[in-house]
Structure 1
Amino acid sequence: MLSSTEPCVFLVDDDEDIRLSLSRALEMRGYITEAFASAPDFLDAYDPARAGCLILDYGLPEMSGLELQKLLVSRGHAIPVIFITGHGGVPESVEAMKMGAVDFLEKPFRQDTLVRQIDAALAADRKNRAGSERTRDALQKIGRLTEREREILEFLVSNPSNTSSKDVARHLDISPRTVDHHRARILEKMQVGSVVELLDLSISTGIFNERIGRNT
């Protein structure tokens, strides 16, 4: 098995000729590929930690491409999907795109068109993984906060126009000086330099309003 640090173009198609020719063509362009004849074969081998994208035949036997996409989404696997099909129509493509597919290409397609979509899919995967890592890091930092610090943090991110120590103190019925002390500790533990950076972290990760109130 290749290193999980290298992004991979996964290909699932029941047509052996397509698997071989497409894998060969992509590898000649410098991509790392792994090919599978069916959705179950792919699921058996797939490691969600592996960066990459998925080229997926819509009309697979056993489990269709759309069914595989839905299963991956339900499991929280955000691998970007590029559908290829020899008989797909508008309804099928619309449903696939609603589920987050990068594109829906009808065979035969131009190789440079597929390559452009692969590059876009790999870029999307890098962005998704970077965002997930930032979210995990923020959650770990929140876990270091005391209950009072989480209360103050929750108020700050839920009330971005009322972040003064007096506002927080009034809401929690504590002194502004106590708020100043906790605020300094929060910024230190969250490794940000200001409340503005704290709010930016809240927006970019989207975790605070849902997770702060729980003991994360």
Structure 2
Amino acid sequence: MIDDPDAGPLIYLVDDDETIRTSLSRALDLRGYRVRTFASAQAFLDGYDGTSPGCLLLDYGMPQTNGLQLQKHLRESGIDLPVIFITGHGGVPESVQAMKMGAIDFLEKPFKQSALIDRIETALEIGRERSAAKRARQEFRSRFDSLTEREREIASRMVANPAQSSSKEVGRQLGISPRTVDHHRARIFEKMCVNSMAELLEISLKAATSGDP
């Protein structure tokens, strides 16, 4: 199933207890959330396509692949879906491990619905921020890849050392004339959709500090 990313975030609920899946999905649906349920970690992996932002409500104590194992798999696969654990079996060591791997929270059943909603809202906001950062990284990479080899070389030098990013300095480093650097600089700004060195530096820093696309 391919989700519609324009329809809003999804809550992915993974729990082997059908009663929990039914009651939680109904409660969340009544509050206006979009919910997809899965009876196992493998069922989630088979059905998740990554097109819709959202968060993962994950039971810890599942057979075959438990919640921590699924969380570890997602992390190693580069899937940064925010995770909220819901469990009746986990203890302190498990909760500590989950939080170290980036879980939003580790809620023990039974939990107050208001507490779950609060965590979901936090997770969805984090998910939106991550999705926006990923789109920005991908856009930056696409623009950077459109540069010629020489343009990439010049852009990289300017970003790496802004204090020596003048056409004269860059030309001296590369053994070309400042006029030639000016020509390349204009093309770089045009392709990167920026109007100044400051803007180029800003978007490159955002891409660098947000992780790989």
TM > 0.5 fold call: yes
Contact 1:57–1:65 (8 Å) recurs in 2? yes
Task: Spell out, residue by residue over 1:78-132, the C-alpha distance to the aligned partner (whole angstroms, 9 max, x if none).
Answer: 1111011113222211211121111111111111111111111111111111111
Residue 214 (structure 1) aligns with: none
Unaligned runs of 5+ in 1: 212-216
Contact 2:82–2:126 (8 Å) recurs in 1? yes
By how many angstroms is 1:44 displaced?
A: 1.2
- Mean alpha-carbon deviation: is it higher for 150-159 or for 94-103? 94-103
Unaligned runs of 5+ in 2: none
Residues of 2 paired with 1:39 and 1:5: CA distance?
26
- Mean alpha-carbon deviation: is it higher for 159-168 or for 103-112? 159-168
The alignment partner of 2:49 has SS state of coil
Task: Spell out, residue by residue over 1:20-71, the C-alpha distance to the aligned partner (whole angstroms, 9 max, x if none).
Answer: 1111111110001111111111111111112211000111111010111111
Task: Spell out, residue by residue over 1:186-205, the C-alpha distance to the aligned partner (whole angstroms, 9 max, x if none).
Answer: 00110001110001111111
Q: How does 1:38-117 map to 2 (within 5 A)?
A: 38-117=40-119
Residues of 1 paired with 2:166 and 2:99: CA distance?
44
Contact 2:168–2:178 (8 Å) recurs in 1? yes
Residue 5 (structure 1) aligns with: 6
Residues of 1 paired with 2:72 and 2:6: CA distance?
25
The alignment partner of 2:139 has SS state of helix
Residues of 2 paired with 1:201 and 1:94: CA distance?
35
Residues of 2 paired with 1:116 and 1:162: CA distance?
48
Residues of 2 paired with 1:103 and 1:43: CA distance?
21
Residues of 1 paired with 2:162 and 2:115: CA distance?
44
Residue 192 (structure 2) aligns with: 190
Residue 164 (structure 2) aligns with: 162
- Mean alpha-carbon deviation: is it higher for 182-191 or for 166-175? 166-175
The equivalent position to 2:138 in structure 1, one of 130, 136, 139, is 136
Residues of 1 paired with 2:52 and 2:140: CA distance?
22
The alignment partner of 1:26 has SS state of helix
Residues of 2 paired with 1:76 and 1:37: CA distance?
23
- Mean alpha-carbon deviation: is it higher for 87-96 or for 121-130? 87-96
Residues of 2 paired with 1:67 and 1:55: CA distance?
14
